[in-house]
Structure 1
Amino acid sequence: MAGAEEALAAGARLAALRELCAGTAAPAGTDTPATSLAGVLRALVDEGTGEEAPLLRRAAELRAVVENREYTADEQWAAPVGTALELLLADAFTPDGGPLARTARAAGARWLLPNAQRLAAGAATDPPREATASIEHLPVRVRTGAPPDGLDAVDRRIDSRYPGSPVPTRATVAVAAAGAVLLPPLAAWPNALAVIATLAGAGLLVAAAVRWRGEVRQRAERRERHAASLAGARQRAERAAGELGDLRDRLAAAAQRAGDDLDAVKSSLGGG
């Protein structure tokens, strides 16, 4: 199911890209281009030229000392702020970035859009029609809406673990027969030896009865375990078929969602 997992992962990445590209409207209270430009000009003038900048910073430090407050140096215009790609990505995926975000996305559309299309194609994979489950260390193929293939071999393996045996067993029959043989002498020859033989015969019959009851109980338990093993194998096959059906549904939903996400990304990037 590696292909299915890759398709779901591609759909998740495309959904994340859609979230990053969402929200192009400027938030309330955002400065207009005119006010932003005025702020930029003021910052440039306040910083001064290359020769004036150290003097202005020193004057600001002294003013902070006189006014008994902490001096905080403003960020310098010449200070490094990152590579062009880092700035482009930061502007493109800023939540509610407004016109700046739209401009950055449009600039990066030729890289973002092909990747979005690749993710959408990866998410739109054909759902698997069958899957293989391991039951009793044997392969069983399951399909939605069809009986599993391979359960007969599983049944034979389970049957081999629970062979049938006659009840009572030969040993129990032999013990009972010996006891029956030792009982009659007491009636024919009423003496001490006959009494001992009769007691021994009675003991053997009791032992045979106990053995027989134990064998009956063991046979019932063995049949119960046998039936439980067969039922468990079928439950595992049904569970595998259900998981296959769920996976098919998830892949179908992911493919549908990927199409919607791709349209949304195209719209955000100005390509649709």
Structure 2
Amino acid sequence: NPKGSLKTTPNPIHRKLTMPKLNLAHIHLHQQPDGTREICVAPEYLAHGTQAAAYYQARDTTPVALRITTAFLPFEQRQPENQSAENLNFAALAHCPALQRLSFSEYRARQYSNLAALYALRHLTHLTLPHQSQPKIDLAQFPQLRELSCAGKGNAHNLSQAASLQRLYLFSFKDKDLSALGSLKNLQQLTLIRPAIETLNGLTELLQLETLDIAYARKLHDISALQQCPWLKSVALPAKFQG
């Protein structure tokens, strides 16, 4: 491999692979810092993005992430701020049933259609959701989900049933404590940004938790539950609790 290129391992499934014909003006390929191959695709070309994801997943074992966004397009073609599209159609996800990483947090839509294609992604391990979802995304449909990033619980349904979660990033979590997360027994990392929590009640249920990061929690006043969680390895709290 040339210097700086990504070392990949051939997929054990031997078959002739053909790179799909893609509209590269609406797809952007790049590698994330952890080596993941990310495919950014405009929503109207989602079928091209899923075909590319299926191709790369079959070619080698490098992780593939699909990101639905217009952020990589020329400025005049991007989705305007504070403006939502009428619909985001997930039908094209059927082209890549083995997809493991998906993000559509940057594309705002008033509604979703063909959710069955989304819920057919039974191997999904990483999911990033937008701040508003109609209808809510049912997390119970993803039995292998290990990492989730979303805004509070307002755009997700059955968060308590996402039992495989190991890393959870919640923005604007609206509960007063952490009791609603107590069933996430495999959770190892929890990040809360601008939560409405007042206490850390419920934290003692998260016996596998190693890292807790809470920022901009203006209402938080009681952190006594931390004294009952000696298994925590790293805790970051708002400045008012430091020193």
Q: For this structure pair, what is the TM-score category when the shorter chain's length is used for normalisation?
A: under 0.3
Greater relative contact order structure (CA < 8 Å, 6+ sep): 1
Structure with the higher strand share, 1 or 2: 2
More helix by share: 1
TM-score, with length taken from structure 1? 0.18
TM score, norm. by length of structure 2: 0.19
Larger-Rg structure: 1
